């Protein structure tokens, strides 16, 4: 039986996908084979030797030590796209509150009431202080056209906006989903020059840290309105505050508040509400659970952040799953060793990602521990698992 440890409150809809005859699932599991996590920080967590996979019910994996997981042969999954609609809707909200000073207007109304003023007698005179432009026929720039960015792009077109998108890693599938009126540019500075509003939807990595810095902001139109529902570290707070102070940026809507940025003018900060809908939490939990199940039961990897995705239809009598370094001649070494032990290879799939690779081998016969040990002892092999 597989043991699954839950590190946060996971939606019951996701937990119900586990077959109780195959899985023991709770936050009290020890020597777990899999972990389901949302926001719990695992950098100092002592991984048991039995741990095979971690599935994050969400898209960001900053709370998981990816390098350590890769070195130990632990697959890390995330759930890109499961919260896409929730974030898309919050982007639409952010466009409106960043354009028309709805937040300031609501606070002003409450302040009048708190001061004992009959608010209905003063609204007509005061409302001009909260005027802002419409979205219709304005230009929206979208950095990152993945699951969320593509939904935002298509919706913005329906709102009557001109849309420019930038994504150097744009997939064919995503490109086909984009409305034909969307302008996909190869140079992000072209997007900066044209956009009245910019929203960013990229993963946070060392490469994207502070990608919105003083130089990037200087390339944008004066009065641009900027939305960051991706990760706080993508924006250089000091550069953004300076741009807000001068009016170069008219408003900054962020889902990642900190004490510094919240005190700047024209900042609308939300408490990380992007995926905070019951539908999103359910979608993420179901996807995360199914990723774990497919890997534990069949060895298939889908939507991993540290290892390549490899999916192979089952054939043969048993399946050998091998995590290894991405170095030359590994496949030859594995198949040569299996042939030496008189084990027939029925089917095989191998892919790499950075320094690591993953190989699934379907075998014509069951193998004993000596064969598994022989493969495990090959140079650059990290982990070997056999599934009957």
pLDDT at 129: 93
Is residue 171's pLDDT more than 90? no
Angle between helices 147-158 and 84-99 (to 10 degrees): 50
pLDDT at 204: 87
Residue 59's pLDDT band, with cuts at 50, 70 and 90, is: confident
β-bridge partners, 387: 319
- Give the position of tokens 């939807």: 201
Question: Collapsing DSSP states into helix, strand and coil, what is residue 82?
Answer: coil
Is residue 60's pLDDT more than 90? no
How far, in Å, are 97, 232, 311, 324, 373 from residue 331 at the CA level? 55, 42, 17, 10, 16
- For 213: left if phi > 0, alpha if psi spans -120 to 50, otherwise beta; the answer is beta
- Give the position of tokens 């953004």: 240
Mean of the pLDDT values across residues 253-279? 95
Total Cβ atoms within 10 A of residue 46: 6
β-bridge partners, 164: 141, 183
pLDDT at 174: 87
The tens digit of pLDDT for each residue in 210-228 reads: 999 999 999 999 999 999 9
pLDDT at 126: 94
Total Cβ atoms within 10 A of residue 63: 18
Q: Which two tokens stand for residue 66?
A: 């990816």
- For 151: left if phi > 0, alpha if psi spans -120 to 50, otherwise beta; the answer is alpha
Q: What is the CA radius of gyration of the chain?
A: 25
Mean of the pLDDT values across residues 180-192? 97
| Residues 6+ positions from 378 with CB-CB distance below 8 Å | 324, 330, 333, 334, 337
Mean pLDDT of the chain, nearest integer: 96
β-bridge partners, 175: none
CB 32 within 8 A of CB 1: no
Query: For residues 130 and 364, what is the distance between their CA atoms, to the nearest angstrom?
Result: 72
Mean of the pLDDT values across residues 259-274? 96
Q: The dihedral of CA 56, 62, 63, 68: what is its sign?
A: positive
Total Cβ atoms within 10 A of residue 191: 24
DSSP state of 301: B
Q: Which of 280, 311, 371 is nearest to 82 (CA)?
A: 280
Mean of the pLDDT values across residues 161-165? 98
The tens digit of pLDDT for each residue in 285-335 reads: 999 999 999 999 999 999 999 999 999 999 999 999 999 999 999 999 999
Give the chain's length: 388
Residue 29's pLDDT band, with cuts at 50, 70 and 90, is: very high
Question: Collapsing DSSP states into helix, strand and coil, what is residue 49?
Answer: coil
Query: For residues 365 and 340, what is the distance between their CA atoms, to the nearest angstrom?
Result: 14
Question: Collapsing DSSP states into helix, strand and coil, what is residue 291?
Answer: helix
- For 207: left if phi > 0, alpha if psi spans -120 to 50, otherwise beta; the answer is alpha
Confidence (pTM): 0.84
Query: For residues 244 and 324, what is the distance between their CA atoms, to the nearest angstrom?
Result: 49
Strand 318-325 versus strand 345-353 pairing type: unpaired
Q: The dihedral of CA 335, 339, 340, 343: what is its sign?
A: positive
């Amino acid at each position: 039986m597989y043991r699954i440890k839950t590190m946060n409150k996971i939606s019951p809809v996701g937990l119900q996908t586990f077959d109780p005859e195959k899985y023991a699932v709770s936050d009290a599991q020890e020597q777990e084979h899999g972990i389901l996590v949302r926001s719990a920080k695992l950098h100092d967590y002592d991984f048991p030797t039995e741990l095979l996979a971690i599935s994050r019910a969400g898209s960001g994996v900053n709370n998981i030590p990816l390098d350590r997981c890769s070195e130990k042969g632990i697959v890390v999954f995330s759930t890109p796209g499961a919260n896409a609609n929730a974030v898309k809707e919050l982007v639409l909200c952010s466009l409106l509150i960043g354009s028309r000073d709805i937040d300031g207007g609501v606070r002003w109304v409450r302040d009048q009431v708190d001061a004992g003023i009959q608010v209905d007698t003063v609204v007509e005179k005061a409302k001009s202080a909260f005027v802002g432009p419409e979205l219709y026929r304005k230009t929206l720039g979208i950095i990152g056209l993945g699951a969320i960015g593509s939904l935002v792009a298509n919706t913005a077109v329906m709102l009557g906006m001109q849309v420019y998108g930038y994504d150097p890693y744009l997939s064919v599938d995503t490109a086909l989903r984009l409305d034909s009126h969307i302008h996909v540019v190869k140079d992000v500075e072209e997007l900066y020059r044209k956009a009245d509003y910019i929203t960013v939807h990229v993963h946070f990595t060392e490469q994207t840290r502070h990608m919105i810095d003083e130089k990037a902001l200087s390339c944008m139109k004066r009065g641009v309105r900027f939305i960051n529902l991706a990760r706080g570290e993508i924006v250089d707070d000091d550069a953004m505050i300076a741009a807000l102070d001068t009016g170069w940026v008219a408003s900054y809507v962020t889902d990642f508040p900190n004490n510094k940025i919240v005190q700047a003018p024209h900042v609308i900060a939300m408490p990380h509400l992007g995926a905070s809908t019951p539908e999103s939490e359910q979608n993420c939990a179901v996807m995360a659970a199914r990723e774990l199940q497919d890997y534990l039961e069949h060895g298939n990897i889908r939507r991993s952040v540290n290892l390549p995705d490899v999916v192979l239809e089952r054939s043969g009598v048993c399946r050998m799953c091998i995590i290894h370094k991405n170095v030359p001649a590994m496949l030859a070494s594995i198949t040569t060793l299996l042939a030496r032990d008189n084990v027939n290879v029925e089917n095989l799939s191998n892919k790499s990602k950075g320094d690591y690779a993953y190989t699934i081998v379907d075998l014509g016969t069951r193998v004993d521990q000596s064969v598994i040990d022989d493969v495990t002892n090959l140079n650059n092999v990290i982990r070997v698992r056999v599934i009957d």
